[in-house]
Structure 1
Amino acid sequence: MDYATTYDGYWLRPDRFGESSFPDPRPIARNIIGALGAGSFLDIGCGMGDLVQALMLDGMDAQGVDVSAVAVAEASRRAPGRFHVGSVLALPFPDASFDNVVSTDCLEHLAPEDVAAALREMRRVARRGAYLVIATRPDRERAWHLTVRDRRFWESAALEAGFRRHPAALRVTPYGALDREVGETTLALEAMPPGVAEAWPLEALSADRELHMDMLREPGSRSDAHLMRYHWAARFARAGDRILDAACGMGYGAWLLASQTEAAEVLGLDIDEAGIAYARQAFSGLDKLRFEIAGLPEGLARLSENSFDLITSFETLEHVVDPAALLEAFARLLAPGGRVLVSVPNDWSDETGRDPNPYHFDVYDWPKLKALVERDFLLDRAATQTADRAKLNGAWSRQGRVWEEFDPVLGVPPRPAEWLIAAGQKRFAGPGLPPWDRAARVAGQPSSAPPVDFAGMLDNPWLVRGLVDRGTRLNAPGALAAVCAELAIKGEPHDAAAAVTVLGYRLLEDPKASSSAVRSHLDSISARLRVLEPGGGPHALRWRVSLCFVAARLAQKIGDLDAAEAWFERVLSEDAARFGPTLFTKTTEACHRLGWLKRAKGDLTGAGSAWARGLEEAERMLALPVRDAFGPQGTRFAFVFDEYSAVCETANLCAMALERLETDPQNALRQSEVLSRPRRRVELLSEELRLTRARGASPEPVAGAQFWTVRELLRTNKWCRPPEPANPHLHLHPTALGHEDQPEAIMQAPLPKNARHVFIVAEAISPASPGVVVMIGGANAPDASMLRLELAAREPQVLRLDAADLREAHGGEIRVTVATRALARSISSSGVRVTWLGVA
């Protein structure tokens, strides 16, 4: 086939010239960089270069290649020297010319017989990886997509060409969303090291599939399930951690943990010599990763106790004769607060009551796994997982991919599943703990800056993992409350203060907490403060501020507003500078909240004074040199400038409230909350949503928060009123709230002639995700296929469509175009309700 002539003709068509397969290349560029990392990129089938430019704008060194000279000429007009004419079947570049290759909506345009050669060419020029977006359904003309196949086909073809699945693949398309891809599939791939595919062909690996397999080289739901467990495990790893993957098999999980976390060391152990030989050759790219031959549990005896922070051992317990002895050995190896993560098959028994797998010694259910883990660990988290089947009434039934967490202490598995997963945390309080040896380091040197001086902050520094650090804190509510309650009574002063603070925030977050429970806890806070007298050093100061702040919030919760004011005043009586810049997050927020308490009482003078004090606190914080607070390398702590940003954000709220105190007192609260960098608020929630999905956690809470943020922005910025001087260009379309379940009526309503953008919100109304908003974004009128991942994943994206691309004249009025009406129909047919929130 003469692809060059064909696609020169394609791009010369008026309806195709300038067209892009995605409305905005920036999100996909960021997804690519997030998955593959920074470096040089080649966009294959680049068209007119939109994605190449987006990658360059994000700091990447990107070039494009396309078979069409017409497309390359236009792309070169925009960015000279960056584009080349060439075929994916014979790329005009030497081997390993680029770190990564990307290709969006290109491969499906090839004839089936050309697919393998194209993927081999991609592998030839890529040093590290590839990011492929491929349509899996016919194009609208049913003429251009010559190879219309599913995800498994494309994944298999890529693996045969010398790629393997990228360890970040489940960040690109989450586990549960793999069953809901509609219209296209996205593959994140990693280049296999030279010689591995030849030495270990897929046929040879498949022969031992029952015991070992490199799941990065296998397509399908069952390999997805194996990768998902390690993807979940990566969320528990912190910078500098030491990780053990016990029974690592062929090493793919250890590779994922080493490449996707900031762990200092990852050790993979397995008894199979061939598996370890493969792992050493296939995953040799990181110095911090090593593999050794060792059986379980006897091979663990040579390892030092308290030497690991995280141990993973998936699908192992059923393979050992004495699983209790193995977990006891893991407990010895873990440092206090460290975690063990395990998985087992969930009742794979046959009619005899035994597991038919000859390598499995036992059959597990949740009570059995729970009892086993609780012998040596605090049961922390639990989940069920299904790849493609689950037992219903004693018989296997076809199911889709599901990962669902549940309360490990009080709950039971929410539904039938193939596997059970449990996380246990080693006890981090009580007698017999080893000396603390986890000092924070910057540029290889230990730091004693107050915010990271855990030995000074806590009498028992191991509490930082189990109690203080939100990322590693014991998760099970009952277990956490029990540990905190004991520490509050028996702990040393700083440990008890930490426990009382954590318990305070648990009460604050509990919607059913009684006022008597809150008042009792306020008494506990007062008792703790009497022990932490002024002059006790920066860490005593830190706990005094934390305790007073949570006390103020608890007083607000039960309606004791006078007490809340007094507690906030106590926060402000402390000098946060004695501790360092990070404590100003509490003092500035105390000022902001105190101002509103006074404003609610009609004390405008007091409110203004509090907000002005918030600005002063921020100024004081900004005047503190970072290096004085954190040492010469202190700016390298990732959290430092995040804390500075939080203080400035709160100061901005104070400034907004103060500015409107006299001119618009009734709306000051609403305006300060809503108008303070609204786009940044949505961006932060979007990033939180992305990270939540990356961790494998449920996105619904964050998605819901983003929905209400956006709705509040639209409504309170006077979109629901005629244009007013304060916001002359923003208003809610009059049909916004009147025809939520009549998309045709909404979409045909007239737009103001000066409208610049259109905002549409679709709220999911399925029982699984009530009230979660889906907003589809772009700069051009979208094809219905744009809805595929957004609706499937039930996550919000901003819809901001250029009105110029969406309007057509009808008797002097501007109406939404046919394309947008089709979008509404597509949304509605997908089981969601359309609401037009506004135009600008």
Structure 2
Amino acid sequence: MTRYAQAAQFVRAGDRILDLACGLGYGSHVLANATQAASFVGVDASEYAVQYATVNFAAVSAKPMSFRVGDAEDLAFLENDSVDFAVSVETLEHLHHPTALLAELMRVLTPGGRAYLSVPFDWSDETGEDPNPFHHHVYDWGVLERQVREAGFLLERAWTQDAGGGQKLHHAKRAIHEFDPRTGPTADGEWLLALVMKPLGEPRPELPDVADVPNILAFNRDYHNAALVRGLVSIGWRATSGALLSELADKTLAQARPEQADFGAALCVRSYLALTDGASHADKRTLAERAIGYASQVAANPTVLRWQVSLTFVAGLLFLSSGDRGAARIAFERAALFDVRPYSPLLGTKTVTAAFTVGQMSLADGSEDQAEFWWDRAVAEARTLVSDIDWREVIGPAGAQQTFGLPELAEMLLTAAKAMNGLVALRNRTAQPGALWRSVHSTLDCRAELARMESAELRDSFDVQRRYYEAREQAFGSEREELLRSKEWLDSQYHHLTDELAQITRLNQESKEWLEGQRDSLSVALARTTAAYDAARADHAAALSERDGLARTLESAAAENEVLRARIEYLKLHPLRRAWLRFKARRNEE
């Protein structure tokens, strides 16, 4: 929604809008209600989205609006130069051939037509690829810039966009930051946004024969390249970038002939840019001399006259800005003397202002008579221009009225009112500078300007405070970002350690269960071993007892054996021996 709201700022009145990859159609609805565009066509690959957009937005739109299923890379249903403004939000990265979309936009856009594009800003991961499976390309500014330039577009404006919860900058605040498309972004962002313009095309060799068109709208009649009005000339329609205006003006000056309205328009734009872009005094004088040279020609058509008057006036501003006050006065006098009625009374903004300025310069030089003469000239010029006014040359024809005429006419009359205030003050002998200044500038626009100045002072004061607090917020923001990064690191460490703890707990549980199983097995084995040991001990004790019995039996047997052996030995003796032994035994007894 934010991007469509931003895109709406660059839609011109009457534009035919193309919404590529329109989705549900809400973007076209936003543009229809926020702009003066004439018609809307939405294209999307989703049949459901197109049906939804048709029912919910096209059916209730006060302006012509339609949606259709289609391929963003093939817009064959659209004719060449049939679209004035195209929106393509988050589309290029989804296409297999994004350059085909850009080529189609170049074909269908009118010269000076615009396209508003957005892409993710480098959503690549460590592999260098976008992890989003629906994104076929990774975009940074170099890639986007190369593609749009190779397609033939001119870069007008560029921004980065951030939003909390994005792919990369999760904690970034919602913000859009503009950067110079010539140098690229100075900081990272979540998305890249670009406003590009189709070149203004080539001038026609001859002007067409167009009748009954008010001079203020005779673009096609008097310009060899009518697209200059939309891209270079008309404030509010033209390019909003000073760099692109300079590029367009320089190209036009190189293409157009010096007597053409195209040349005068480009030279005027270039001259006003020099007043604000820091041009050197020498460059300003060169432009002023070229402007005077252009104004010295015979006007080929009313629009050439328009640029002759404007260029003479801006030559005075250029001379004044470069320090040549004498040449500036001559230029303003020449501007004041133009007869602008062949074009439009609106050119009185230049002739009346020029006369009023010469009067101011005269008064500053001490010449009240000259001041009175030129202020009287300013009032007379305004009276002449409004006395027999052709309203077609102010607001356009019936049914095609324009909004710029009446404010310009009011500006001329307010300047004449300042001149009248000066005349009255001089005739009343109000010579004090302060009082005279207040008298001259007591018009509604001056009071409004004073209020704007006071408002600007308040705004500047507010901006000083805002920048101070923004600096503080940025400092705190840096600390906050560091704390958030630390929090993220600690969170990752916490999750990592939590995972490790869970793994260790699981291993501990498994080890405990294994050890308990081993313990139970060992307990059973121990019981069995103990029982076997006790049985073995009993068997051992029985064996020892049996051994002792056997030993006693053996001892008894041995004793009996000794008795038997002695008896055997006895029996083996000779009878006489036995008798002798018996005799000896009895004798011993006696």
| TM bracket, shorter-chain basis | 0.7 to 0.9
Match of 1:422 among 194, 201, 204: 194
Superposed CA offset, 1:93-122 (max 9, x none): xxxxxxxxxxxxxxxxxxxxxxxxxxxxxx
Q: Does 2:280 match 1:514?
A: yes
Q: Any idea what the Cα deviations from partners look like across 1:304-356, whole Å, max 9, x if unmatched?
A: 00001111101111110111111011000001000111000111222332222
Q: Which residue of 1 aligns with 2:178?
A: 405
In structure 2, the CA distance between the partners of 1:683 and 1:476, relative to structure 1 (3 Å rule), is same
Match of 2:515 in 1: none
Distance 2:145 2:330 in 1: 46
Looking at structure 2, the residues matched to 485 and 329 of structure 1 have their Cα atoms a distance apart, in angstroms, of 27
Residue number among 236, 240, 245 corresponding to 1:471 in the alignment: 236
Shift of 1:597: 1.3
d(CA) in 1 for partners of 2:35, 2:317: 35
Q: In the aligned structure 2, how far is the partner of 1:361 from the partner of 1:669?
A: 70
Matched residue type, 1:425:
M
Contact 2:421 2:441 in 1 (8 A): no
Give SS of 2:178's match. strand
Q: Distance in 2 between matches of 1:304 and 1:503?
A: 34
**Are residues 1:294 and 2:70 paired?**
yes
Match of 1:499 among 256, 266, 269: 266
Tell me, yes or no, if the aligned pair for 2:418 and 2:441 is still in contact at 8 Å. no
The Cα offsets for residues 748-775 of structure 1, whole Å up to 9 and x where unpaired, read as xxxxxxxxxxxxx8664243799xxxxx
Aligned to 2:13: 239
Deviation at 1:235, TM superposition (A): 1.6
Paired position in structure 2 for 1:707:
456
Structure 1 range deviating more: 664-673 or 519-528: 664-673
Relative distance call for 1:669 and 1:377 in structure 2 (3 A) is: farther
Report which structure shows greater RCO (CA 8 Å, sep ≥6).
1
**Paired position in structure 1 for 2:552:** none
CA distance in 2, matches of 1:386, 1:515: 42
Three-state SS of the structure 2 residue aligned to 1:615 is helix
Aligned to 1:272: 46
CA distance in 2, matches of 1:435, 1:320: 42
CA contact (8 A) 1:381 1:407 kept: yes
Q: Is the 8 A contact 1:460 1:495 kept in 2?
A: yes
Return closer, same or farther for 1:421/1:270 CA change in 2, 3 Å cut-off.
Answer: same
Query: Equivalents in 2 of 1:684, 1:362: separation in Å?
Result: 52
Distance 1:235 1:461, change over 3 A: same
Structure exhibiting the larger radius of gyration computed from Cα positions: 2
The one-letter amino acid paired with 1:677 is L
How far the C-alpha of 1:627 sits from its partner, in A, is 3.4
Instruction: Report the Cα distance in structure 2 between the residues aligned to 1:467 and 1:238, rounded to whole angstroms.
Output: 13
CA contact (8 A) 1:571 1:590 kept: yes
Query: Deviations 1:465-519 (Å, cap 9, x if unpaired)?
Result: 1110122323343343233223223303211111111100000112x22111112
| CA 494–657 in structure 1, closer or farther in 2 if over 3 Å, else same | same
The residue aligned with 1:355 is: 130
**1:32-91 deviations in Å (ceiling 9; x for gaps):** xxxxxxxxxxxxxxxxxxxxxxxxxxxxxxxxxxxxxxxxxxxxxxxxxxxxxxxxxxxx
Shift in Å, 1:620: 2.1
Q: Does 1:568 align with 2:332?
A: yes
Shift of 1:433: 11
Q: What SS class does the counterpart of residue 106 from structure 2 fall into? A: helix
Spell out the pairing of 1:89-488 with structure 2 (5 A cutoff). 227-283=1-57, 284-286=59-61, 287-298=63-74, 300-375=75-150, 376-388=152-164, 396-409=169-182, 411-430=183-202, 448-488=213-253
The structure with the largest strand share of the pair is 1
- Residue identity in the other structure for 1:368: V
- After superposition, the C-alpha distances for 1:606-664 in whole angstroms (9 at most, x for unaligned) are 11221222222222232233435356517832222112211122122222333333314
Q: Which amino acid in the other structure matches residue 76 of structure 2? A: A
* Contact in 2 for aligned 1:315/1:342 (Cα 8 Å): yes
Cα gap change, 1:589/1:710 in structure 2, threshold over 3 Å: closer, same or farther? farther
Identity %: 35
- Inter-partner Cα distance in structure 1 for 2:87 and 2:214: 32
Q: How far apart are the structure 2 equivalents of 1:363 and 1:386?
A: 17
Distance 2:391 2:45 in 1: 49
Deviation of the 1:389 alpha carbon:
5.2
**Offset at residue 682 of structure 1 (A):** 5.3
- Counterparts of 2:273 and 2:121 in 1: how far apart (Å)? 33
- Where 2:78 maps in the other structure, the secondary structure is coil
1:681 to 428, 438, 448: 448
Structure-2 separation of matches of 1:366 and 1:436: 42
Separation (CA, whole Å) in 1 of partners of 2:417 and 2:459: 19
In structure 2, the CA distance between the partners of 1:432 and 1:567, relative to structure 1 (3 Å rule), is closer
* CA drift at 1:580: 1.4
Describe the superposition over 1:158-212 as per-residue Cα deviations: whole angstroms up to 9, x where unpaired: xxxxxxxxxxxxxxxxxxxxxxxxxxxxxxxxxxxxxxxxxxxxxxxxxxxxxxx
Q: Secondary structure at the match of 1:474?
A: coil
Change (3 A) 1:368 1:668: farther
Structure 2 vs 1, CA of residues 387 and 336 (structure 1 numbering), >3 Å: closer, same or farther?
A: same
Asked whether the equivalents of residues 207 and 222 of structure 2 are also in contact (C-alpha less than 8 Å), the reply is: no
Output the CA distance in 2 between the equivalents of 1:632 and 1:473: 23
Distance 1:639 1:253, change over 3 A: same
Separation in structure 1 between the aligned mates of residue 432 and residue 166 of structure 2, nearest angstrom: 59
- In the alignment, does 2:340 pair up with 1:591? no
Deviation at 1:591, TM superposition (A): 1.7
Structure 1's 258 and 416: CA in aligned 2 closer, same or farther, altered over 3 A?
Answer: same
Mapped partners of 2:424, 2:90: distance in 1: 60
Q: Which residue of 2 aligns with 1:605?
A: 369
Counterpart-to-counterpart distance in 2, 1:624 and 1:769: 57
Task: Give the Cα–Cα distance (whole angstroms) in 2 for the partners of residues 601 and 710 of structure 1.
Answer: 36
Aligned residues of 2:222 and 2:301 also touching (Cα < 8 A) = no
Aligned residue in 1 for 2:408 = 643
The amino acid that maps onto 2:163 is A
2:484 aligns to what?
none
Q: Distance in 2 between matches of 1:489 and 1:461?
A: 16
Structure-2 change in CA distance of 1:476 and 1:371 (3 Å): farther
Partner of 1:660: 425
> In the aligned structure 1, how far is the partner of 2:224 from the partner of 2:388?
28
Distance 1:331 1:600, change over 3 A: same
- Tell me how far apart the structure 1 counterparts of residues 83 and 77 of structure 2 sit (CA, whole Å): 13
CA gap 1:602/1:709 in 2 versus in 1, 3 angstroms: farther
Alpha-carbon offset, residue 280 of structure 1: 0.9
Pick closer, same or farther for the CA change 1:768–1:382 going to 2, 3 Å: farther
Distance in 2, Cα, partners of 1:291 & 1:499: 39
Secondary structure of 2:158's partner? strand
Question: CA–CA distance in 1 between the matches of 2:85 and 2:206?
Answer: 17
| Counterpart residue identity of residue 461, structure 1 | A
**TM-aligned CA distance change 1:434 to 1:275, over 3 Å:** farther
Seen in structure 2, the aligned counterparts of structure 1 residues 349 and 768 have a Cα distance that, compared at 3 Å, is: farther
In the TM superposition, what is the alpha-carbon distance from 1:668 to its structure 2 partner? Answer: 5.4
Q: Is the 8 A contact 1:238 1:263 kept in 2?
A: yes
Is 1:547 equivalent to 2:311 in the alignment? yes
The structure in which a higher percent of residues are helix is 2
Partners of 2:202 and 2:451 in 1: CA distance: 39
1:320 aligned partner, one-letter code: L
Shift, 1:380, TM fit: 0.9
Gaps of 5+ in 2: 471-590
